[in-house]
Chains A and B, each alone.
Chain A
Amino acid sequence: MTDTTMTLDQKTGQQAAAAPKEAEMPPAIRPATERDPLRARIEDFSFYYSNGFQAIKHVDMPILDRKITAIIGPSGCGKSTLLRSLNRMHDLYPGNRYEGKVILEPEGENLIGPDADPVLVRLRVGMVFQKPNPFPKSIYENVAAGLRVRGIKKRAVIDEAVESALRRAAIWDEVKDKLHGSAYDLSGGQQQRLCIARGLAPNPEILLLDEPTSALDPIATAKVEDLVQELSETVTIVIVTHNMQQASRISHRTAFMYLGEAIEFGETAQIFTNPRHPRTENYITGRYG
């Protein structure tokens, strides 16, 4: 036994030295059964890009109803890919492939099933992007866009939904006097809150936030964070972030992803004070390995 290891070591040098280390690593920690009500369940979910690269490997993750779930992990770990899978963004580019299930509760509908229409999925699961991306239209039209897409034409209905979404996004007071001005005249932070309002207007069941504050200054970031926390009382939120302090501040559950796998999922306080998996610990404490 020892002899074999030694020859292996001598032959392949570094690789052999790294291999036993990998083997020592405990397997990913599967999420415990949640007692809180769920809004969605990700089950044995895998995702392949059109070039055959498997970006997500057999991920299991619960999404709690009206709670904030944060996904953290190093660049390229698949966290954004996972988020974009939840509203079928990958269907915009040909050749991408999903496997497994994303079950929307309580109906039990599989969002990535063959008979789920991506357009209908996106009507139920809204998305806010990394960089504020208001449409080149007025503030009012930006928020109304999601309603117009749904074929809502009644002026009164749209007016009401626009105001309510802007109020929920805590930006109403700043824009109520210039609703018909260009969205591009807003500051970056206001634009991002406008994008959140746009996502909220059609009343989605889940709102996905893909690093929503990475392009914002600290003051705008604080406003968005407060907003996200307030929103979690009424809507289920999944947020991807590079900022671990942010994840620890605003989320109720945190998932740590590494190389396409969900390594650990748990209560945010537990993940950030006493993570179970060494890889999680190394990542959040900023260590090598």
Chain B
Amino acid sequence: MTMATEGSLGAAVQTDQTAFDAVRRAKQKDIVFATGGLIVMAIAMTLLLTLIGDLVIRGAARIDYGFLTSYPSRLPERAGILSAWVGSLLVMLVTAFLAIPIGIGAGLYLEEYARKGWLSNFIEINVSNLAGVPSIIYGLLALGLFVYGFSLGKTILVAGMTLALLILPIVIVSTREAVRAIPRIIKEGAYGLGADQWQVMWSYIIPAARPGILTGAIVGLSRAIGETAPIITIGALTFIAFLPPAPVTPDFPLISFAWLNDGFTVLPIQMFNWVSRPQEGFHIAAAATGVVLIALTFTLNGIAIWIRYRLRKGYRN
């Protein structure tokens, strides 16, 4: 009996020693992995910062009031991006108005109303796949369908529709994720009070999913603002020295949609155009446009993060 006890005690001490060794080895592995991760991250961040830094160093000085309020010009020092940023803004407006309601509606329908079956699975897989389709394919689709098929022309409306198609999967997927993340007991609690599906949707699901949905929508828009390929494909103009008609008019009915049918250019195309010219002055202008574009994208992402942070705080249980 005593022997056995001593034996097991000895074994216990040995086990402790092994355990200490194992823990020490695991800690060493942790350190190695953390160091490796840090190096990789440093490389990635350096590259990114160099890129942005390069743009900023070359272009930042070029950005002034004149640059933002001038049309493109043959002379690099007089060229501006007025038509480009106004174009970008208007195209984004169309995209947002189309993609956000349709995407949220489709996401909510798929998650809450659609019968779960092979069809909904099929749609789910395809929506996820669409998010990964190269953007130029959307451009070709838009060219064939909107520009030639419906004869809508190379207008702001078509550009907005094209980009809306492009980001629709992102909005749908993020809406579904956001709805799915709502705790089941919240939904059941609402149903348990006798709420019908519509009431649960409007009063509980949409408010609770709002941060996720808005984040998805803004991330989608920030992707759309930088897209060049589909816009080029549908034939955006590269040299525009005029603005589309203003959306707000002094006469009745005060709002005009004439701008939708106007030609346009956008920031990435303006940049692309200037980069491909030989004059150094245009390269600087392109860098400056790049800075503006990055600033816009960062701003949009920043808004997304802020919304997520602000709204989630109120909904965390």
- Report if A195 contacts B (CB, 8 A): yes
- Report if B199 contacts A (CB, 8 A): yes
Q: Is the CB of A122 within 8 A of B185?
A: no
Q: Is the CB of A89 within 8 A of B192?
A: yes
The residue in B191, B192, B199, B204 that gathers the most chain A C-beta atoms within 10 A of its C-beta is: B192
Contacting residues of chain A (94-128) with chain B, CB-CB under 8 angstroms: 94, 119-120, 122-124, 126-127
* Ranked 4 nearest A-B pairs via Cβ: A123-B194, A127-B192, A122-B194, A133-B185
Q: Chain B, interface size: which category? A: 20 to 34
Chain B residue nearest to A121 in the complex (CB) = B194
13 pairs across A/B with beta carbons < 8 Å? A87-B192, A119-B196, A122-B194, A126-B193, A129-B185, A133-B188, A136-B314, A145-B193, A146-B194, A149-B195, A149-B196, A199-B192, A199-B193
Q: Is the CB of A126 within 8 A of B192?
A: yes
Chain A residue nearest to B207 in the complex (CB) = A136
Q: How far, in Å, is B113 (CB) from chain A's closest CB?
A: 12
B residues lining the A interface (CB < 8 Å): 115-116, 183, 185-196, 199, 203-204, 207-208, 314-317
Residue interface mask A130-147, B partner, CB < 8 A = 1: 010111100000000110
- Given known pairs A94-B116, A184-B316, the reply for A129 and B196 (CB within 8 Å) is no
Q: Kindly list chain B residues whose C-beta atoms are within 8 Å of the C-beta of A35.
A: none
Q: Kindly list chain B residues whose C-beta atoms are within 8 Å of the C-beta of A23.
A: none
Chain B residue nearest to A130 in the complex (CB) = B185
Q: Kindly list chain B residues whose C-beta atoms are within 8 Å of the C-beta of A198.
A: 189, 193
Q: Kindly list chain A residues whose C-beta atoms are within 8 Å of the C-beta of B185.
A: 129, 131, 133
- Measured in the bound complex, the distance between the Cα atoms of B191 and A126 in whole Å is 10
**Besides the known contacts A122-B194, A135-B189, A202-B193, 12 further A-B residue pairs in the complex with CB atoms under 8 A apart:** A87-B192, A122-B191, A122-B193, A124-B194, A127-B189, A136-B315, A149-B194, A149-B195, A149-B196, A198-B193, A199-B192, A202-B194
Q: Kindly list chain A residues whose C-beta atoms are within 8 Å of the C-beta of B188.
A: 89, 92, 127, 129, 133
- Given known pairs A94-B115, A133-B186, A135-B204, the reply for A146 and B193 (CB within 8 Å) is yes
| Neighbour of A92 across the interface among B116, B191, B207, B208, CB < 8 A | B191
Count, A-B residue pairs, CB within 8 A:
70
Q: Kindly list chain A residues whose C-beta atoms are within 8 Å of the C-beta of B183.
A: 133
Q: Is the CB of A136 within 8 A of B208?
A: yes
Chain B residue nearest to A198 in the complex (CB) = B193
Q: Kindly list chain A residues whose C-beta atoms are within 8 Å of the C-beta of B192.
A: 87, 89, 122, 126-127, 129, 199
Residue interface mask A57-86, B partner, CB < 8 A = 1: 000000000000000000000000000000
The residue in A124, A134, A149 that gathers the most chain B C-beta atoms within 10 A of its C-beta is: A149
Q: Kindly list chain A residues whose C-beta atoms are within 8 Å of the C-beta of B115.
A: 94
Q: How far, in Å, is A140 (CB) from chain B's closest CB?
A: 14
Q: Kindly list chain B residues whose C-beta atoms are within 8 Å of the C-beta of A134.
A: 189
Q: Kindly list chain A residues whose C-beta atoms are within 8 Å of the C-beta of B196.
A: 119, 149
Q: How far, in Å, is A214 (CB) from chain B's closest CB?
A: 13
Q: Kindly list chain A residues whose C-beta atoms are within 8 Å of the C-beta of B199.
A: 149
The residue in B193, B208, B315, B317 that gathers the most chain A C-beta atoms within 10 A of its C-beta is: B193
| Neighbour of A135 across the interface among B116, B190, B194, B316, CB < 8 A | B190
- Given known pairs A136-B315, A184-B317, the reply for A89 and B191 (CB within 8 Å) is yes
Q: Is the CB of A145 within 8 A of B190?
A: yes
Q: How far, in Å, is B68 (CB) from chain A's closest CB?
A: 42
Q: How far, in Å, is A166 (CB) from chain B's closest CB?
A: 16
Q: Kindly list chain A residues whose C-beta atoms are within 8 Å of the C-beta of B204.
A: 135
- Measured in the bound complex, the distance between the Cα atoms of B211 and A85 in whole Å is 33
- Measured in the bound complex, the distance between the Cα atoms of B189 and A153 in whole Å is 21
Chain A residue nearest to B191 in the complex (CB) = A92
Q: Kindly list chain A residues whose C-beta atoms are within 8 Å of the C-beta of B116.
A: 94
Q: How far, in Å, is B93 (CB) from chain A's closest CB?
A: 31
Q: How far, in Å, is A13 (CB) from chain B's closest CB?
A: 35
- Measured in the bound complex, the distance between the Cα atoms of B112 and A94 in whole Å is 12
- Report if A148 contacts B (CB, 8 A): yes
Q: How far, in Å, is A211 (CB) from chain B's closest CB?
A: 12
Chain B residue nearest to A147 in the complex (CB) = B193
Chain A residue nearest to B185 in the complex (CB) = A133
- Report if A182 contacts B (CB, 8 A): yes
- Report if A21 contacts B (CB, 8 A): no
Chain A residue nearest to B311 in the complex (CB) = A136
Chain B residue nearest to A131 in the complex (CB) = B185
Chain A residue nearest to B192 in the complex (CB) = A127
- Measured in the bound complex, the distance between the Cα atoms of B140 and A115 in whole Å is 53
Q: How far, in Å, is A30 (CB) from chain B's closest CB?
A: 30
- Measured in the bound complex, the distance between the Cα atoms of B203 and A150 in whole Å is 13
Chain B residue nearest to A127 in the complex (CB) = B192
